[in-house]
Amino acid sequence: MNIQAMKIEELARLVGGTLSGDPGLMVSGFAPLEAAGPGEISFLVNKAKIDALKTSRAAAFLVPMNIGDLPGVTVIRVRDPNLAGAIIHSAFLATPFRADGIHPRAHVGRDCLIDAEVSIAPLAVIGDRVGIGPRVRIEAGVVIGDDVEIGEETIIKANAVISSGSLVGSRVIIHPGAVVGSDGFGFATDERGCHVKRPQVGIVRIDDDVEIGANTCIDRAAYGVTRIKSGVKIDNLVQIGHNVVVGDNSILVAQAGIAGSTTLGRNVVLGGKAGVKGHIHLDDRVMVAGGSGVHDNQPAGAVIGGYPAIPIRKWTKSAALFVKLPEICAEIKELKKDLAQLLGRNKEDSEGGGR
Amino acid sequence: MNIQAMKIEELARLVGGTLSGDPGLMVSGFAPLEAAGPGEISFLVNKAKIDALKTSRAAAFLVPMNIGDLPGVTVIRVRDPNLAGAIIHSAFLATPFRADGIHPRAHVGRDCLIDAEVSIAPLAVIGDRVGIGPRVRIEAGVVIGDDVEIGEETIIKANAVISSGSLVGSRVIIHPGAVVGSDGFGFATDERGCHVKRPQVGIVRIDDDVEIGANTCIDRAAYGVTRIKSGVKIDNLVQIGHNVVVGDNSILVAQAGIAGSTTLGRNVVLGGKAGVKGHIHLDDRVMVAGGSGVHDNQPAGAVIGGYPAIPIRKWTKSAALFVKLPEICAEIKELKKDLAQLLGRNKEDSEGGGR
Amino acid sequence: MNIQAMKIEELARLVGGTLSGDPGLMVSGFAPLEAAGPGEISFLVNKAKIDALKTSRAAAFLVPMNIGDLPGVTVIRVRDPNLAGAIIHSAFLATPFRADGIHPRAHVGRDCLIDAEVSIAPLAVIGDRVGIGPRVRIEAGVVIGDDVEIGEETIIKANAVISSGSLVGSRVIIHPGAVVGSDGFGFATDERGCHVKRPQVGIVRIDDDVEIGANTCIDRAAYGVTRIKSGVKIDNLVQIGHNVVVGDNSILVAQAGIAGSTTLGRNVVLGGKAGVKGHIHLDDRVMVAGGSGVHDNQPAGAVIGGYPAIPIRKWTKSAALFVKLPEICAEIKELKKDLAQLLGRNKEDSEGGGR
């Protein structure tokens, strides 16, 4: 997939790193240490793994700042080799957008405004009055409802569904089978226990640079907007209820779920399978351990875990003691026995003393 | 989306409420307090929020019984403003069914019995011998297997799959990506540890007025029927195993799961991410807290939580003490120290006394 | 669905059982005890249920070894009636593959190598350079990316997605809506808290005889291969992260999830909703209770549960005591009171003694 070689000097500039070695060296790809071939650049995350670097066939390396000069080895020193690697790898893979146009076997509704430079695959279905910006790619089997707006360079993968009225920003990636804009789950129950549907007339708005995982579901608002803000990354099989707001750059790991009307600040992280109750707020940078259940508002920066979630340090201590409950109970039993004996003896003593 | 104005008198009658104000007032839509425009009707859930009512621009309000007369304000007093709001909002949104017929780019198999008054979207696929009742809407990308029967006014949304032999009632809503009738998960394991598939030859039957969320999965029975009874509401990403029976009007919140052959009574509620073991029974009106794991049969009306789930009051007490385990252990340590000291002193005493 | 009668003698041979009764008896189908009609064969799992056998209308029975002769009843004695039943039921249902070819309304890309004996349904989409072996069935709405290879007799059900580069073995069953080969969830975060996508350039490889449940997601490797080995059975809505390896014949029950780079040995079992952390190893035959969270490596044969998961026996004990935390605290309070009294009395005693 690597298209062309790049000069290492350029790569150093791209990631703001310090080059040590031949600035004219050409590299043709990026790969992990053990997989990199000659002519490729690789990366070393921390000093401890320096031996792996020595056996790698790579032509050059992204290394942390604290790595000294290695004779005959070309390195770029960077603050975060992981990050620099992601940037360089992306640069190698970048290809100019290939506009295949609208495939004759795609179906497009009426009154759409679709940029000329798009790729819409066979058997994609676009509703009425849909707007699609330049360099958007829509894969096979995607269904887009009426009145949807899609920005620039967004990719919607196979069999994803974007329901009517949704607004999708630019450079968004929506993975296969994801559903954006399904009805929120809202009912009112009558005297006989039957549930009357509360109409779900709001929309979903997805800002720029968001990624949405495979088979993830984002419900439209009951009224108003369910909002996924800029830079949010959502993994597979995540559930987002109606009227939820997910703040910029938050990360939701696979199978997490957020109930209706809850709001998340910026850079919140939900671990895998974490669940968040409805109508609460997790402030900026809250981190929730995988598998936890969050029942209450959380202040900025809180790191929490457990069910219900509590500060993670407290939880770790309690969880360690949970395992010891049998021993704890044995100790209590022992204490009771000792005390009973003592009470008995004391009783004897006082009885003895009473004689 | 609001089609026409309705007389407030009619709305009061529709919800069985008591009107106070001009019976001839025309209202043209329904919205929450802060969003309602002039000419719309809104609702007040409880008295505490009465100030929001005063600043709302709405023309009239659904209010609880305990709200007194407000000079110059038209109100309909009802037992449950939430419920009344759902009914009135739905009435405003009700539109006559528009039968678009079978789109030429849909694919329909042989020997189907499809009512003339249906809408089957482009790129929907219908198998052989399928029966579809009047006013059914089938969206793009839906795949319906052979020998499926669908009642009246049912809506099957984009990319949902209804596998062969499934029976779907009337007024059912199936959201995008839902899968009805996939194989149950049943295997027998041989001596070498290999798993032999147990054929799954049963079906799924979905009764009237059921709603099934996006990307939810309902497995067909191994033999016989997996049954979702009338009025059941299922959220997104829920898993229902083979031969499960879900009783009337039960509610299954997102990411809940029910293992094979378990049966639920009427009006059971599973919170989000709740899991229920196979081959057990939850009786009528059982409520399971979100994130819980149910391992045992539950009597009617039980309200349970935790893992394994226990009566919620017990669980709440234990969960509160779980957090205090470090303090509890510190107390035990203290007790041990005191007792040891006491035993030591007593020992001295008795040694002293023995002299 | 039963095609033809089979001689019971043959069936006994098929499952390695011992026949007692007329070897020439013809049976025409397989069903559970209560559902079997005359002329069908049924099965009895354990001796305790022998009365159900007496009222069954079946013509013959698979029974465990410890069932004695029953006058006038034809039985096949086998080590595992469950397993024998699965084998015999499958034999009755086996039908010769019907090759419908490539439907004119399917879309097939360029340079594909597709066996003549396949069934590709209308509105399935096949990418470029795809290889498809004999007797493969691809249902409607399936999307297969470029450069995918599919072995023999594999079934890919409605609306499943197999992304580019995936390798799928023989006799694999992929259920509706499953997504194979979506991007792994990998990002590097810059100083401003923005997440830079780490390109996911690896693939998914699925070996022979694997089954993948509805709406399950299997991510492609960041680099290299996410691997599902031979005979693995995966239920619905399961999440498998990038670079995960699932060993032969493992079983992953519904809504389980495995984070990136974790490896499972052979015959591992994850219960429903179980979650496994990334970068760890569960060795052969590890069993994880439903709803558990596994945070650490596990040795072969470990049976674990809880969050974090610990040996199940320990967990069971601790969980039983969790419920008793209020009583435990009451006991401690009592002990404290007794001890305080004792200390007070002893104090008096020693004060008295000091006089």
Residue with tokens 């307090």: B33
- Helix C325-354 crosses helix A325-354 at what angle (to 10 degrees)? 30
Contacts of B233 in chain A (CB under 8 A): 185, 187, 195
CB of B101 closer than 8 Å to CB of B117: no
Q: Determine contact: C330 vs chain B, CB below 8 A.
A: no
Domain residue extents for chain C: 6-93, 101-314, 324-355
Of residues B188, B275, B339, nearest to C272 (C-beta)? B275
Report whether pLDDT(A308) > 80: yes
Contacts of C105 in chain B (CB under 8 A): 107
pLDDT at A291: 97
Q: Determine contact: B5 vs chain A, CB below 8 A.
A: no
CB contact residues (below 8 A), chain B span 28-67, against chain A? 31-32, 35
pLDDT at A51: 87
Neighbour subunits, C (≥3 Cβ pairs < 8 A): A, B
Contacts of A31 in chain C (CB under 8 A): 223
Which residues of A are marked as active site? 242
Instruction: Taking residues B195-208, report their average pLDDT.
Output: 97
Secondary structure class of A109 (helix, strand, coil):
coil
Instruction: Taking residues B113-125, report their average pLDDT.
Output: 98
What gap in Å lies between CA B182 and CA B161, rounded to an integer? 9
C206 CA: distance to closest CA in chain B (Å): 16
Q: C195 and A82 in contact by Cβ < 8 A?
A: no
Report whether pLDDT(B287) > 70: yes
CB of C236 closer than 8 Å to CB of C213: yes
DSSP collapsed to 3 states, chain A = CCCCCEEHHHHHHHCCCEEECCCCCEECEECCCCCCCCCEEEECCCHHHHHHHHHCCCCEEEEECCCCCCCCCEEEEECCHHHHHHHHHHHHHCCCCCCCEECCCCEECCCCEECCCCEECCCCEECCCCEECCCCEECCCCEECCCCEECCCCEECCCCEECCCCEECCCCEECCCCEEEECCCCEEECCCCCEEECCCCCEEEECCCCEECCCCEEECCCCCEEEECCCCEECCCCEECCCCEECCCCEECCCCEECCCCEECCCCEECCCCEECCCCEECCCCEECCCCEECCCECCCCEEECCCCEEHHHHHHHHHHHCCHHHHHHHHHHHHHHHHHHHHHHHHHHHHHHC
Instruction: Taking residues A85-113, report their average pLDDT.
Output: 96
pLDDT at C353: 44
Q: A145 and B158 in contact by Cβ < 8 A?
A: yes
pLDDT at C132: 98
Q: B257 and C273 in contact by Cβ < 8 A?
A: yes
Report whether pLDDT(B180) > 70: yes
pLDDT at A1: 43
Complex-level ipTM beyond the 0.90 threshold = yes
| Mean pLDDT for all residues in chain B | 94
Backbone conformation region of residue A97, classed left if phi is above 0, alpha if psi is from -120 to 50, else beta: beta
What gap in Å lies between CA C263 and CA B110, rounded to an integer? 47
Q: What homologous superfamily is domain C101-314 in, according to CATH?
A: Hexapeptide repeat proteins (2.160.10.10)
- Within its chain, how far is the Cα of B61 from the centroid? 28
What gap in Å lies between CA B273 and CA B252, rounded to an integer? 9
Q: A255 and B255 in contact by Cβ < 8 A?
A: yes
A53 CA: distance to closest CA in chain C (Å): 18
For B216-263, give the DSSP string: -EEEPPSSSEEEE-TT-EE-TT-EE-TT-EE-TT-EE-TT-EE-TT-E
Report whether pLDDT(B352) > 80: no
Both tokens assigned to A37: 């071939």
Confidence of residue A353 (pLDDT cuts 50, 70, 90): very low
Of residues B188, B217, B310, nearest to C86 (C-beta)? B188
pLDDT at A351: 52
* Beta bridge mates, C27: C6
What gap in Å lies between CA B2 and CA A346, rounded to an integer? 85
Instruction: Taking residues A296-315, report their average pLDDT.
Output: 97
What gap in Å lies between CA B93 and CA C272, rounded to an integer? 40
Q: A140 and C125 in contact by Cβ < 8 A?
A: yes
Q: Which residue of C has its CA nearest to A83?
A: C188
Q: A273 and C259 in contact by Cβ < 8 A?
A: no
Secondary structure class of B289 (helix, strand, coil):
coil
* Beta bridge mates, A156: A138, A174
Report whether pLDDT(A352) > 80: no
CB of B272 closer than 8 Å to CB of B289: no
pLDDT at B339: 86
Of residues A80, A231, A339, nearest to C338 (C-beta)? A339
For A31-56, give the DSSP string: --TTTPPTTEEEE--SGGGHHHHHH-
Contacts of A276 in chain B (CB under 8 A): none
Burial state string for C206-233 with b = 16 or more CB within 10 A and e = fewer than 16:
bbbbbbbbbbbbbbbbbbbbbbbbbbbb
Q: Is B6-93 assigned to CATH 3.30.530.20?
A: no
CB contact residues (below 8 A), chain C span 196-225, against chain A? 196-199, 201, 215, 217, 219, 223-224
* Of A289-298, A327-336, B150-159, C155-164, minimum mean pLDDT range: A327-336
Instruction: Taking residues B174-181, report their average pLDDT.
Output: 98
Amino acid identity of residue C250, one-letter, is S
CB pairs below 8 Å between B and C: how many? 186
Q: C185 and A233 in contact by Cβ < 8 A?
A: yes
Higher pLDDT residue, B34 or A349? B34
Q: Which DSSP state fits B47?
A: G
What gap in Å lies between CA B354 and CA B347, rounded to an integer? 10
CB of A159 closer than 8 Å to CB of A141: yes
Confidence of residue A340 (pLDDT cuts 50, 70, 90): confident
Confidence of residue A49 (pLDDT cuts 50, 70, 90): confident
Neighbour subunits, A (≥3 Cβ pairs < 8 A): B, C
Burial state string for B75-92 with b = 16 or more CB within 10 A and e = fewer than 16:
bbbbebbbbbbbbbbeeb
Equal fold, B6-93 vs B101-314: no
Of residues B83, B175, B324, nearest to A183 (C-beta)? B175
Cis peptide before B308 (omega within 30 of 0): yes
Q: Which of C89, C103, C107, C242 is catalytic?
A: C242
Both tokens assigned to C324: 């008793």
Q: How many Cβ atoms sit within 10 Å of the Cβ of residue C191?
A: 8
Q: Which residue of C has its CA nearest to B325?
A: C325
CB of C253 closer than 8 Å to CB of C236: no
Report whether pLDDT(A153) > 80: yes
Question: Does the annotation count B89 as an active-site position?
Answer: no
C282 CA: distance to closest CA in chain B (Å): 17
As averages over each run of 10 residues, the pLDDT of chain C (355 residues) reads 78 96 93 92 89 90 91 94 96 93 97 98 98 98 98 98 98 98 97 96 98 98 97 98 98 98 98 98 98 98 97 96 94 89 67 44
Question: Residues A219-254: pLDDT tens digits?
Answer: 999 999 999 999 999 999 999 999 999 999 999 999
